[in-house]
């Protein structure tokens, strides 16, 4: 039987985040590219991760937390049709968020997150359902996550998954 110490798991998550963020910094520095982020359920955690390391101002242009439906519409310009047809927690909304923040900020790449971290059902969608998206040059890739942790764990895992998706797209392992 395995027994995990919570601090060991937290340290492992910190190590993983640091490794991924270092990779993002290195890529953007070497390529001279720019990044923007539109976050909903992750509440600015991805932007926090990016700015934890010095030098983010060389490539990180903007991070917007558009938590409410109204903010998604007013700040990012997400269409009412997308939200009414697919919901806030949807692949379509995640894609549109990524595309809109990239367009608004004129960056090379963007990330977005939208989802239900829990504990309750939202729009008939279960806790842990999160959509992440990465956009570049008008092309966007999205991914559905079904997270099983508590609210805070889901937030961290969604943020880390979004950064990993960005790296996959940047490295050409997923073609956006």
Average pLDDT over the chain, rounded to an integer:
92
pLDDT of 119 above 50: yes
User: Cis omega before residue 119 (within 30°)?
Assistant: yes
Q: What's the Rg (C-alpha) of the chain?
A: 16
Q: Work out whether strand 35-39 and strand 109-115 pair parallel, antiparallel, or are unpaired.
A: parallel
Name every residue whose Cβ is closer than 8 Å to that of residue 145 and which is 6 or more positions away in sequence. 115, 128, 129, 130, 131, 132, 157, 158, 161
- CATH code, residues 33-170: 3.90.950.20
Average pLDDT over residues 62-77: 97
Query: Among 7-16, 30-39, 125-134, 148-157, which stretch is predicted with the lowest mean pLDDT?
Result: 7-16
**CA 64 to CA 156: how far, in whole Å?**
17
Mean pLDDT, range 56-81, rounded to an integer: 97
Tell me which H or E stretch contains 85. Answer: helix 80-86
**Alpha-carbon gap, residue 59 to 76, rounded angstroms:** 20
Q: Could you state, in order of their start, the residue ranges of all structural domains in the chain?
A: 33-170
The mean pLDDT value for 49-73 works out to 97
CB 130 within 8 Å of CB 117: yes
Q: What is the pLDDT of residues 81-94, one digit of tens each?
A: 999 999 999 999 99
List, in order, residues 6 or more apart from 166 with CB less than 8 Å away.
Answer: 24, 35, 109, 111, 134
pLDDT of residue 4: 43
Residue 110 CA to residue 117 CA, distance in Å, equals 21
Measured distance CA(133)–CA(139) in Å, rounded? 10
* 3-17, 86-100, 151-165: segment of lowest average pLDDT: 3-17
Q: Which long-range contacts (CB under 8 A, 24 or more apart) does 71-77 make?
A: 72/40, 72/97, 76/38, 76/100, 76/101, 76/104, 77/104
CB 151 within 8 A of CB 116: no
Residue 9 has pLDDT above 50, yes or no: no
């Amino acid at each position: 039987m395995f027994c995990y110490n919570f601090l060991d798991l937290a340290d492992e998550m910190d190590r993983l985040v640091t490794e991924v963020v270092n990779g993002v910094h290195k890529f953007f520095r070497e390529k001279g590219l720019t990044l923007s982020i539109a976050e909903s359920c992750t509440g600015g955690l991805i932007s926090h991760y990016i700015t934890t390391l010095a030098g983010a101002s060389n490539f990180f242009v903007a991070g917007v937390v558009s938590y409410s439906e109204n903010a998604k519409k007013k700040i990012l310009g997400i269409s009412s049709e997308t939200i009414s047809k697919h919901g806030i927690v949807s692949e379509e909304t995640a894609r549109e968020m990524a595309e809109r923040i990239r367009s608004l900020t004129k960056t090379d790449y963007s990330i977005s997150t939208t989802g239900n971290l829990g504990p309750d059902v939202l729009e008939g969608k279960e806790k842990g359902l999160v959509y992440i998206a990465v956009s570049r040059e008008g092309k966007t890739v999205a991914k559905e996550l079904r997270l099983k942790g508590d609210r805070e764990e889901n937030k961290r895992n969604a943020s880390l998954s979004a950064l990993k998706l960005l790296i996959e797209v940047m490295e050409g392992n997923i073609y956006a």
